[in-house]
Structure formats: C-alpha cells, structure tokens
Amino acid sequence: MSDYPSRIESAKLILENGSIKRAATSVYYVQSGRDRDKWYRVEVGPKESCQCKDFAFRVKSGSVDACKHILAIRMAIEDEMSLPLDEEFAKRELPEEPKPPTKEFWEVMEGLKLLTAREAIKI
C-alpha cells in the first residue's frame, strides 16, 4: 500500500475543505492542496479538462479516468451539493473587454501602409 492518499480520498478532502468554486455552468476552480494560492481551472461534462499534472499525464494518456479535482467536482454534483456561482471566479471566465488600439498598433499599421506604398512604387 502506498502512503499517498488515493484519488478518491484526495477528492473527499477537497470537498471537505470547500476548495471548489464554481465559475460557470460547467467550469469550476479547485484550490491546489499544496499551494493555497493556486487554483486549477476544471471543466466537467462532455469535455473534461483540468490544468493539473495528473490530468496532463495520466488522464490524457488514458491510464486513469479522472484527476482528484474532476473527481471532487463529480462527487459534489452527485451529492447535489450546492455550488453557487462565485462572483470572483465567474469574472475570470468573462471575455476581456475590447481595448482601443494602442499608439504602437497605429504605428505598425502606418508602417505597413508605407511599405505597401513603397513596394507599389517599385512595381
């Protein structure tokens, strides 16, 4: 037996610690157990994904079905735990506001136009 807790046990711990925040219908953020400042973005449903290493290596290669973060969210859903939308995390899912073009952008555009004009003269 290994000393490491199984994925199921780890998932239960995540649930007990309340380290899951809902950001959109099927998007959640799960706090890292080791680094409390780190949150993994996790998508559940037909297209599952997680930003953790376990997902990148073991889930993607098909050796396990899900990482502990996905498991924790699945458990929460099965237990019909209420995970209301968290405003702070929901903001992360919003597309960024379009910004007006910068001065640099116009300089580049000007440069392109000049170049085209010069090339046109050559022709």
With binding defined as CB under 5 A, does residue 69 bind Zn ion?
yes
Which two three-digit tokens encode residue 107? 């300089």
With binding defined as CB under 5 A, does residue 67 bind Zn ion?
yes
Q: Which is nearer to Zn ion, 51 or 86 (CB)?
A: 51
- Shortest Å, Cβ 87 to Zn ion: 23
- Shortest Å, Cβ 42 to Zn ion: 6
Q: Which is nearer to Zn ion, 49 or 86 (CB)?
A: 49
37, 103 Cβ separation under 8 angstroms: no
φ, ψ (nearest 5 deg) of residue 11: -65, -40
69, 31 Cβ separation under 8 angstroms: no
Angle at 44 between CA 85 and CA 18, to 5 degrees: 50
- Shortest Å, Cβ 24 to Zn ion: 17
Q: Which is nearer to Zn ion, 32 or 90 (CB)?
A: 32
The helix/strand/coil state of 103 is: helix
- Residue 40 has a CB neighbour count (10 Å cut-off) of 21
Q: Kindly state the number of chain residues that form the binding site for Zn ion, as judged by CB under 5 A.
A: 5
> Interface mask (CB under 5 A) for Zn ion, residues 16-55, using x and -?
----------------------------------x-x--x
How many Å separate Cα 30 from the centre of its chain? 10
Contacts with Zn ion by CB under 5 A lie at 50, 52, 55, 67, 69
